[in-house]
Amino acid sequence: MTNDYDHNSPQSAINVLRRFVRPRAPEAAERCDLCGAGLAEEHSHLFEPPTRQLFCSCEACAILFGGQTETKYRRVPRRVRRLADFRLSDAQWESLLLPIGMAFFFHSSPAGRTLALYPSPAGATESLLDLSAWAGVLEENPVLRELEPDVEALLVNRVRGANDYYLAPIDECFKLVGLIRAGWRGLSGGAEVWKAIEEFFAELKQKSGAVQGAARA
């Protein structure tokens, strides 16, 4: 009998998991996108950098990709950190060339640089980031160098008088994109979507622990 896969590859391990996974329980709302196991409401996610797609994952599959960088998927961390003393002046924000006061920034391995995306009624929209201006933000806030490539982002909210900065998992950023895309009505968005945005950031704040000393002394 011959083996048709490499025993040392993550994909082969997933194939083995599929053989032993139990059938999905009727009450399971979601299943692992890799092995088909039923998932709890709170579960891990994997991120595919080239396509920027998120996949729901059971813990067994997520562990296969935890800490690995040379694989198709990257495990998304769950930590959320609020940056209480983040330094970003109005002039610096303008220099980043974002059309709205809400965006997230992450280092893309496929692109080999930092990308800036903002939520819109059409989904996540990429903005042309001035990299020299971004270098100035990095200089003022060295905590940004701790971001895990592809799976962690600086999430900025400066709309309607807000001044919030988070180091957030990439799935939280796309969750925000999704709720705006699904709930936006008319030109201004409507009261319901703005309430949902407010609730999103209130929940994000609850999940976070404020990081002092985020900016350079």
The label of the residue with tokens 């008319």 reads: 186
- CA dist 118 and 174 (Å) reads 10
pLDDT in tens, 5-45: 354 555 555 554 454 445 544 455 789 999 999 998 889 99
Which residues of the chain are modeled with pLDDT < 50?
A: 1-5, 7, 16-17, 19-21, 24-26, 213, 217
> Is residue 200 helix, strand or coil?
helix
Helix pair 191-207, 170-183: axis angle to 10 deg: 160
Q: How far apart are the first and last CA of the chain?
A: 64
pTM: 0.82
The label of the residue with tokens 């009624």 reads: 121
- CA dist 117 and 124 (Å) reads 6
